Amino acid sequence: MTHGLWNLRIKVDGELIVDADPEIGYLHRGIEKICEYRRYNEVVTLMDRTCYVAGIAWEQLYIMAAEGALGLSPPARAEYIRVLSQELQRLSSHIMWYAAYVQDIGLMTPFLYGMRDRDLILDLFQSYTGARMTYEFMRVGGVRNDVPVGFTDRCRKVMDWLDQRIPEYEKVCDNSTIFLDRTKGIGILKAKECLNDGITGPMLRAAGVARDIRRDRPYSVYPELDFDIALYDEPDCYGRYRVRMEEMKQSVRIVRQVLDWLDRNPGPVLAEKVPRFVGTPSPPPGKETYVERRGYPKGRGFSSMEEPHGEAMAYIINEGAEHPYRAKLRSPVFVNIAASKDYLVGYRVSDIPAIMGSVDVCVGESDR
């Protein structure tokens, strides 16, 4: 399931695919254009909806670029809460992928397993952001609110539960002949081609290239956390599945570390000197810390991060106005679909669901 519609035109010779031409844009919602009409904090609403399985990742991506453009930095606790959200989101996104993908291949149980466990993670999100999918949680200069009392314990319980569940997910797939037959040796894209095609994320790491923006160009507080990059040396559908499973285990590990930190270090979660125009319009009287509306330094902000689907980038140009002059988003899925000709040609028509599912297509993100 790709939760979103796109079109794949293929040329076949009997059952063999000889040419493929993907066509997207059925969910093009003009997000980059609407951003130019919104205040900095109002844009966050759109970012959630850009990639709806990993909303909070895109929120942080945008916020990091906007903070770069405005020259702000958030307090440490906010950074940790952001990283916590990132990793929970990676878990829920990969579980969603697992639920949908393995169902497409022909096993029904994973959908029920996956949806059940994903709901547990969404419950956690709901307890501190108030929403299941579209959070509107991050702010320029921090996050909206702290995690509630007792959250860390609840979160630990869910992580313990996932520790048991993830091996079980693997068991379902690895013991299934159908799954192995349909994924092993299918949809191969070698490392060299991956690099040339600009492919990122689990697809690239399944080909054995250890590029993970969290490690290579660390953002937020990732340098202080201990985790491994999930790698696999077979660039087929099965390898991508293994990489995602391994990433989930690493995410659980990161979440545990962040929870320990949060327990030890209370503090503010929003920077003091946030310019008022970024958020609510009128400055409270007598507060000189707020920077004047006009005359805020112009600048360009750039951020890149390891989103569940791959390398996402945001580029924001601030011209001193209340809203971004230009907001450009790079979606990993956009590039990964673009290369689909390279990993579809030579396989059979019946392999298409298995191959395209392993890319983890999120159309909201590729079309923006």
Partner 1 sequence: MPEENPPLRPLIPGITAQFPQDVTVLPRRKDMLAVLKVTPARVAEVAKYLRDVGSFEHCALVSGVDWVDHLEVLYHLWSDSLKGYIELTVDLPSEDPHVPSVTEIWRGANWHERETWDMLGVRFDGHPDLRRVLMPEGYQFHPLRKSFELHEPEELEVKARHV
Partner 2 sequence: MSDSETSGTSKIITHVREADAPEPEVPFAEIEIVQSKEFIPVVKENLTGMIQRGMEAAVKPVFNWAGRNSLFPLHWGLACCAIEFAAGFGARWDGERFGVVPRSSPRQCDLLIVNGTVTWKLSHKLITLWEQMPEPKWAIAMGNCATGGGPFRTAYSVVPGVDKLVPIDVYIAGCPPRPEAMLDGILRLERLIRERRG
Which residues sit at the interface with partner 1, rule CB under 8 A? 24-25, 28, 30, 32-34, 37, 68, 195-200, 209, 211, 216-217, 300-304, 311, 313, 315, 317, 325-326, 328, 330, 334-335, 338-339, 342, 367-368
Q: HSE (CB half, 13 Å, CA atoms) of 153?
A: 2
Structure tokens given for 278: 């970024």
Question: Minimum distance between the CB of residue 215 and ligand SF4, rounded to whole angstroms?
Answer: 32
CB 8, CB 23: distance < 8 Å = yes
Taking the complex as a whole, how short is the minimal distance between the CB of residue 29 and partner 2, in angstroms? 4
Q: Count of residues binding ligand SF4 (CB under 6 A)? A: 2
- Alpha carbon of 120 to those of 36, 69, 84, 90, 117: distances in Å? 36, 36, 15, 14, 5
Q: Which residues from 121-150 bind ligand SF4, rule CB under 6 A?
A: 134
Q: Which two tokens stand for residue 341?
A: 């000709």
Q: Which C-beta is closer to partner 1: that of 117 or that of 197? A: 197
Nearer to ligand SF4, 130 or 268 (CB): 130
By a kind-dependent CB cut-off of 5 to 8 A, residue 172 interacts, out of partner 1, partner 2, ligand SF4, none, with: none
Selection from ligand SF4, partner 1, partner 2, none that 116 binds (CB < 5 to 8 A by kind) is: partner 2
Sequence length of the chain is 368
Residue 320's contacts (CB-CB under 8 Å, 6 or more residues apart) are 294, 295, 296, 297, 298
Task: Give the other-Cβ count within 10 Å of 288's Cβ.
Answer: 7
The angle, 0 to 180 degrees and rounded to 10, between the axes of the packed helices 237-264 and 352-359 is: 30
- For the CB of residue 48, give the shortest distance to ligand SF4 in the complex, in Å: 8
In degrees, to the nearest 5, what angle opens at C-alpha 140 toward C-alphas 135 and 145?
A: 50
* 161 binds, options partner 2, partner 1, ligand SF4, none, Cβ within 5 to 8 A by partner type: none
Q: State the nearest-atom distance from the C-beta of 96 to partner 2, in Å.
A: 7
Which of residues 107 and 221 has its CB atom nearest to partner 1 in the complex?
221
* CA dist., res. 364 & res. 353, Å (int): 19
Q: Smallest distance, Å, CB 210 to partner 2?
A: 31
Distance CA 6, CA 118 (A): 25
In terms of Cα–Cα distance, which of 15, 33, 72 is closest to 351? 15
Residue 126 vs 134, nearer CB to ligand SF4? 134
Q: Which partner from the list partner 2, partner 1, ligand SF4, none does 278 bind, CB cut-off 5 to 8 Å by kind?
A: none
In the complex, least distance from residue 94 CB atom to partner 1, rounded to whole angstroms: 23
Please report, as a single letter, which amino acid is at residue 346.
G
Q: Under the criterion CB under 6 A, does residue 276 sit at the interface with ligand SF4?
A: no
Site string for ligand SF4, 39-58 (x = CB under 6 A): ----------x---------
- What is the contact surface with ligand SF4 in residues (CB under 6 A)? 49, 134
